[in-house]
A = this chain, B = another copy of it.
Amino acid sequence: MICCVKDCTRGTILSDTNIPVRTMAPRPEGCRAVAETLGRIGDKWTVMVVGSLAQGPMRYNHILRTVEGISQRMLTLTLKGLEQDGLVTRTMYPTIPPRVDYELTELGRLLIAPLQSLHDWATEHRPAMLAARAAFAEKESEAASQRARFTTPK
């Protein structure tokens, strides 16, 4: 159960028509956790930074070059968030010029597996999603032209 819902009931679940549907093992204790976690890693850059750091420890500018399109500001903020949540360690060498290494913690490395499964789903099913989106767009414009035919008949 991945829900964050009110009625994480146990046992058989009844639909509105009282017909038993799929049964799952609910885990109420983690319902809120999923949403919060996704709120944390679901932003625009976090997964890419984590994915980048999955290769190993990396310096600030190296991540900056690796994660295409990220700005200094966003990288700094993302790394700070990850460090704050204990997913990344920041090691500063007070040399001149300064050098800062970032590395995934054990916690951060454990996150790689779930992200990998999400990655696999994404790569495998993205064509289907794109197709669905295209089909949906077509139906939309079709319906729009239908409406237009009756609302603006000149």
Residues of A that sit less than 8 Å from B by CB: 1-7, 13, 15-16, 21-22, 24, 27, 29-31, 33-44, 47-48, 50-52, 54-59, 62, 65-68, 83-87, 107, 110-123, 125-126, 128-129, 131-133, 135-136
Contacts of A110 in B (CB 8 A): 121, 125
Q: Whole-angstrom distance between the alpha carbons of A62 and B15 in the complex?
A: 9
Q: Whole-angstrom distance between the alpha carbons of A33 and B34 in the complex?
A: 21
Q: How many copies does the complex hold?
A: 2
The answer to whether residues A121 and B37 also contact, given A67-B5, A84-B136 and a CB cut-off of 8 A, is yes
Task: Decide if the interface of chain A is mainly helix, strand, loop or mixed.
Answer: helix
Q: Are B119 and A33 in contact, with the CB atoms below 8 A?
A: yes
